[in-house]
Structure 1
Amino acid sequence: MKPNLRRCISCGKVAPKAAFWRIVRVHPSHQLQLDQGMGRSAYICPQADCLKTAQKKNRLGRTLRAPVPPSVYDSLWQRLAQNDHRTVNT
């Protein structure tokens, strides 16, 4: 069985779905949420460079065809900081 491959909206890297963070525009409410839900999705690498580029160039907004509130980026930056913190401690 083939793995579910996805592409990062920022750097274009192709990898298994589990290697990315998923941002979803939920149908029909058009609310954005992380990781779960049915609707239009975007995938991004859990790296500072990819997140910075996606935010600066509005790649999430264009891919999801919806405005992205700052709270979504704040959540992603916090998640990145937690991942970095865990990596340093192990």
Structure 2
Amino acid sequence: MEVYNNLFRFRFCVACRRLVSRCRLVRIIRDYNYGIVLDHGIGRSAYLCYHHTCIMEAYHRKRLQRSLRCQIPDSLYSTLEQRLQRNCCRL
């Protein structure tokens, strides 16, 4: 049962498809009230690594659009890039 519980702490990055701890991923949610939000909310979600290559892969191959089943504004990718710049020292 312990192995099963540990699996809940890991998620797949939609870009690189690696299994990573949730604390090392950013969560993007399609919230039914507010649209696309980062980190908090209830709804369909996708996870991305805090890497420039994963953000660009998700953008060019439309991985977030496929995972969340909706249009993703370009402003979200610029927000992710800014967050990556702020948090690069933390990781």
Quote the offset at 1:37 in angstroms. 0.3
What's the TM-score once normalised by structure 1's chain length?
Answer: 0.86
> What does residue 69 of structure 2 align with?
65
In the other structure, the counterpart of 1:8 is 13
The Cα of 1:70 is off from its aligned counterpart by: 1.2
Are 1:19 and 2:21 counterparts?
Answer: no
Q: Which runs of 4 or more aligned residues in structure 1 lie more than 3 Å from their structure 2 counterparts after TM superposition?
A: none
SS of residue matched to 1:6: strand
| TM-score (norm: length of structure 2) | 0.85
CA deviation string 1:15-46 (max 9, x = no partner): 2211100000002x360000000000000000
SS in 2 for 1:36: coil
- Give the residue type in structure 1 aligned to 2:18: K
Identity fraction in percent: 35
Secondary structure, in 3 states, of the residue corresponding to 2:15?
Answer: coil
- Unaligned 5+ residue runs, structure 2? none
The alignment of Structure 1 onto Structure 2 pairs a total of residues equal to 85
Which segment is superposed worse, 41-50 or 75-84? Answer: 75-84
Partner residue in 2 for 1:40: 44
Using the alignment, how far apart are the partners of 1:30 and 1:53 within structure 2? 25
